[in-house]
Structure 1
Amino acid sequence: MALVVTSSAGFCGSSHAVQEGSLRLSGSGRLSMTKPNSIPSARVGFAVRALQQSPAETETSRRSMLGLLAAGFASTSFVETVLAETKMPLPPAVPVRIAGIPGSLREGSLNKKLINAASQIAKTISPTIEVEYVDIDSLPLINTDLVKNKKYPAEVEAFFNKLRSVDGILFASPEYNYSVAGPLKNAIDWASMERDVLKDKTAAIVSTGWDLGGARSQYHLRQIGIRPDIYFINSPEVFINENPPVFDSDGNLTDEDVRKKLKELLVSLNNFTLRLRPCRPFPWPRPVPLEQPADALD
């Protein structure tokens, strides 16, 4: 009998004869597949046994066996099929949790409104995408004298715990003097004090400014995120000019072009997070397709 184990670290297995298209999942009944090249593999913690039917069968190399299993490596349909075969119910998908962090402290800040708008837009994309506003107004200026016996101020600890609980970050960054605003840099500096707060988080940026929509601050923010190990998406890039206004007096987003760009940004962040989130619990949300890509090729 040949054994192949899939995990987040990769595959291991031995080379023995296998019957093409017939697999057994450890602890369950046989699962039959009609097309070997359509067999998707689970990413985390599943042992898949390939049954040898007779000694006369042709020996299958380790590379061929692993290629068979790897054909659908990124798909969730293998596990879904196993659950269907064993009559097990499919649990609700684990959400992708996004922390929305504005870089401005002003009560009527455009960046705070953008985070709130993104939270509402996320609900229209998929029930598995959650954008939660994270307040940085109460964070003190970073000062290691405030850390007593390795304990941080209560506001900082609460900020740490909020970021630890999410999968990704949406930054709404105003441009101040060609860079990010001081409060946002302060928040990132605090968060980088503990390695597990920002490490391996995915991130996206929507920036605001008067001339280039905050473009210069975006690239500085990406540089700031290198040491904390933040992984920024590359596209789409969303730059919003402060004038003309994109919100009405009640804080409602009225610019449909901005709404479309925010939606595309969230979809890209969600799908990037799904690809990078390590050892995520099953079941995994499926990537969300964009109705119309932002930069479709002719």
Structure 2
Amino acid sequence: MSEPQGFRPAQPAAVPTPAAATAVEVRGVDKRFETRSGQVQALDAIDLTVAAGEFVSLIGPSGCGKSTLMRLIADLDDPSSGTLTVFGKSTRQARLDQEYGIAFQSAGLLPWRTVAANVALPLELHGVASGARANRVAELLDMVGLADFADRYPDQLSGGMQQRVAIARSLAEQPRLLLMDEPFGALDEMTREKMQSDLVRISAETGAAVVFVTHSIPEAVFLSDRVVVMSPRPGRIREIVPMRLGADAKRAARTDELREERAFFDMVTAVREALHGGAPVGTGPRGVETR
């Protein structure tokens, strides 16, 4: 029996090629904007590689170009110079091939559609047959812990639940890359930490690479394999900090207990010092964000 139109079943693991082993490749990227007061240099000489399955966070002061870089990777804007590829393809081709899903700070759910219908929307738009669509939606809602809320509407959900729906929707077409622009920024601290733990689990289950924009140092440390620290505008990569959280703290195994371990606070301090240009800074209260 042939597969329903538009559905991409899970494929057996293949021997990775260099292109397949690299999710995102950014080389010599500049971005300039024309404004009434003149030209603004948003990004300057950005070089970055994100491996397949890797979780990379972008952090830096407001206006440093984090979201601009995300938009370039997502083919929502064009670089002024330099090149970007996603799984060895142009960003435009990667978008057409649905290689990535996107989640923003606002969940962006359609209020007149149920939770299940919101998650199903990308599948509908790409012609996936109703049976395969229903099966995929059920699988995704189970993954994000919302199987009992399929028939609810967005205004019947908390902020954290709405963001879980948005994440499920971004995973609908089994993308190999997730692009996430401060998706937890508007949530209270308790919900935010729960969502971080959920995202660690989901990214491990799906094997997708993640590029994640945040202003929160503890969030970046908890989630990431590497944290990319950017400078004030024009945005440059000041330092890339690998997360050394101990032999038993691989990303898939991270739990809330990690937040109270010495290695976690050491990494928070390392990222904070990178943000301050390498100068030692006071650590402040444990777990407090530095924005």
**Normalised by the shorter chain, which TM-score bucket?**
under 0.3
Normalised to the residue count of structure 1, the TM-score between the two structures is 0.27
Higher Cα Rg, which structure: 1
Normalised to the residue count of structure 2, the TM-score between the two structures is 0.28
